[in-house]
Structure 1
Amino acid sequence: MTGFASGRGASEGYAWDWELRSVNGKGLDLRLRVPDWVEGLETALRARLGKGLARGNVTVNLRLQSEQRAARMQVNEAQLDDVLEAIARIESEAMARGISLAPSRPGDILAQRGVLEMASSEADTTALQAALLADFEAVLDGFLDMRRGEGRALEEILAGQLDEISRLTSEAAEAAQSRREDVAQALRDALARVLDNSEGADPDRIAQELALLAVKSDVTEELDRLHAHVTTARDMIATGSPIGRKLDFLAQEFNREANTLCSKAQSGALTKIGLELKTVIDQMREQVQNVE
């Protein structure tokens, strides 16, 4: 979901610079820094970005300058009143507490946000807005192209990781088959211990406990689900639609099955494969955070 694009343009007596960048995010968070006196610009940009993006923290910066004579500055009277009132309250409170403050200087007051602002000579910014939006299309296209390029690289990485998970899952099935006799012997030993100490015990209860021991050592379901998750993940990637959140959830399910496999292993070889699976799955989860 990372991306960057920039561009320059000029029209209607103005010149501007665009900068569009994004980093990973669970949802879509749009942060726009554009002149608010160009009526409707931010709303139009948000609508356009929402059509092409589904995930990521996206920042849009627009620096807009007049190509004509230096823009005239004017004092925002309402903001000035608010700042002066706040200063008066602070000075009054300081005096009441015996604190001496340095006198406020005009430059300090003018430096407060919103007190001094550019006076727009444009009563109607419709034409300027249209020019800005038309120029933004090329910037956005470059931005999306960069993200698509990253997506293709991520697709190859994820495909390789899924292949490795599939290979390790098949190895786990072979290791589980190899340890079958050891597990069977362990169950026979457990049965012998139970029978030696089962005088007066409920036969049904004994059968339940033995069945539980057998279930705890069987990893067939975990291996079947791992194979199914690999197939599902490949199908998701092949769709090409926004799948980041779905893949993130599926990666958690991969990890859950690998954890269960390790807990049921009862074999050094199977435990080793389970740990390798967890390593690959963790690597995949990190990459999935980059997927839209």
Structure 2
Amino acid sequence: MIQSMTGFGKATMQLSHKKITVEIKSLNSKGLDLNVRVPTVYREMELAIRTQLSTALERGKIDFSLYVEAINDETTSKLNQSIINSYISQLKAIVTDADETELLKMAVRFPDALKIER
């Protein structure tokens, strides 16, 4: 069991097709306050990560971050046209004075506007 509540740790693992980085920061706190950040692709692992952290740690404000970076050029990103069109339609309903270019700029910033294919 880790006794100190204030600290920082970072580990990086390089695989053949991706680089994985894990960061954990902790500050003194009476209770256990977990903040877990993982990429959307790995969102289903969040509960397992929280469980592992809460088992290993008793208290403190904990920030856990997982970063995954593709190394090879095997990944491509494409516009998700159906989602972008849906966003533009919704934006037109609430933003009446914007032109198509501005609406497109807004729409591509929303979640899932780009899809990454491996």
CA offset at residue 87 of structure 1? 0.7
Which of 27, 30, 46 is the aligned partner of 1:26? 30
Q: State the match for 1:85 in structure 2.
A: 89
Q: State the match for 2:75 in structure 1.
A: 71
Q: Distance in 2 between matches of 1:58 and 1:79?
A: 35
Please give the secondary structure, in 2, of the residue aligned with 1:38: helix
Q: How does the TM-score come out when normalised to structure 2?
A: 0.76
| RMSD, matched Cα | 2.4
CA offset at residue 36 of structure 1? 2.9
Q: Distance in 2 between matches of 1:82 and 1:56?
A: 42
- What do the CA deviations read for 1:20-62 (whole angstroms, capped 9, x no partner)? 1012333212111112323642222112101111212211112
Identity of aligned residues (%): 24
- What do the CA deviations read for 1:250-282 (whole angstroms, capped 9, x no partner)? xxxxxxxxxxxxxxxxxxxxxxxxxxxxxxxxx
Label 1:77 to 1:48 Cα distance change in 2 as closer, same or farther (>3 A).
farther
Please give the secondary structure, in 1, of the residue aligned with 2:14: strand
Q: Distance in 1 between matches of 2:82 and 2:61?
A: 34
Q: State the match for 1:48 in structure 2.
A: 52
Which gives a bigger RCO, structure 1 or 2 (Cα 8 Å, sep 6+)? 2
Q: How does the TM-score come out when normalised to structure 1?
A: 0.34
Please give the secondary structure, in 1, of the residue aligned with 2:42: coil
Label 1:114 to 1:26 Cα distance change in 2 as closer, same or farther (>3 A).
farther
Which one has a larger percent helix, Structure 1 or Structure 2? Answer: 1
Gaps of 5+ in 1: 95-100, 122-292
Q: How does 1:196-215 map to 2 (within 5 A)?
A: none
Q: State the match for 1:102 in structure 2.
A: 98
Label 1:77 to 1:54 Cα distance change in 2 as closer, same or farther (>3 A).
farther
Label 1:11 to 1:41 Cα distance change in 2 as closer, same or farther (>3 A).
farther
CA offset at residue 82 of structure 1? 4.3
Instruction: Tell me, yes or no, if structure 1 residue 111 matches structure 2 residue 109.
Output: yes
Instruction: Tell me, yes or no, if structure 1 residue 8 matches structure 2 residue 12.
Output: yes
Q: Distance in 2 between matches of 1:14 and 1:116?
A: 19
Label 1:117 to 1:28 Cα distance change in 2 as closer, same or farther (>3 A).
farther
Q: Distance in 2 between matches of 1:25 and 1:104?
A: 49
Q: Distance in 2 between matches of 1:48 and 1:22?
A: 15
Label 1:29 to 1:118 Cα distance change in 2 as closer, same or farther (>3 A).
farther
Number of equivalent positions: 112
Q: Distance in 2 between matches of 1:71 and 1:32?
A: 26
Please give the secondary structure, in 1, of the residue aligned with 2:41: coil
